[in-house]
Amino acid sequence: MERTLSIVKPDGVKENAIGEVIKRFEQKGMRIAALKMLRMSKDDAKGFYIVHKERPFYDSLTAFMSEGPIVVMVVEGDNAIVKVREIMGATNPKDAAPGTIRADLASDIEHNIVHGSDSKESASYEIPYFFSALEIC
């Protein structure tokens, strides 16, 4: 059993896509082990996305992620990291496979509805960024 972090980003929350995202994970055999809504400050977003600090999109990404509420969740299942990323689709919705969250719901590469850990290392940093061990069931 593997765990990963997924986030419904501010655009997904604004578009009322929270339930749809969760439904798609659950329909593919994933289990939600922790869930909460919160609003990151700009500093919180900078800390979370610190791995992208040198990238040109860092400032716009952290501004976007702190502009409204988000829903963070721990998703659990066999090969959860790969499966969640498959369910989400490619980062750029134009490149995402039909039927994926991003192909169906996202508007562009910066407003792409969801985030998912891209590796075990990322998940091991990202999950405790938002959840204590007591909050994961």
Based on the residue annotation, tell me whether 115 is a catalytic residue of this protein.
yes
Residue 95: per-residue pLDDT: 96
- What's the mean per-residue pLDDT of the chain? 97
> What is the full DSSP assignment across the chain?
-EEEEEEE-HHHHHTT-HHHHHHHHHHTT-EEEEEEEE---HHHHHHHTGGGTTSTTHHHHHHHHTSS-EEEEEEEETTHHHHHHHHH--SSGGGSPTTSHHHHH--SSSS-SEEE--SHHHHHHHHHHH--GGG--
User: 41-47 — which CB contacts under 8 Å span 24+ positions?
Assistant: 41/66, 42/66, 47/129
Q: Cβ(38)–Cβ(47) under 8 Å?
A: no
DSSP E strand stretches across the chain? 2-8, 31-38, 70-77, 114-116
Residue 102: per-residue pLDDT: 97
Please state at what angle helix 18-27 crosses helix 80-88, rounded to 10 degrees: 130
Q: Percent of the chain scored above 70 by pLDDT?
A: 100
Residue 86: per-residue pLDDT: 98
Q: Which residues contact 24 (CB under 8 A, 6 or more apart)?
A: 87, 101
pLDDT tens-digit series, residues 12-60 = 999 999 999 999 999 999 999 999 999 999 999 999 999 999 999 999 9
Options 7, 115, 123, 131, the catalytic residue: 115
Residue 8: per-residue pLDDT: 98
pLDDT tens-digit series, residues 74-90 = 999 999 999 999 999 99
Residue 22: per-residue pLDDT: 98
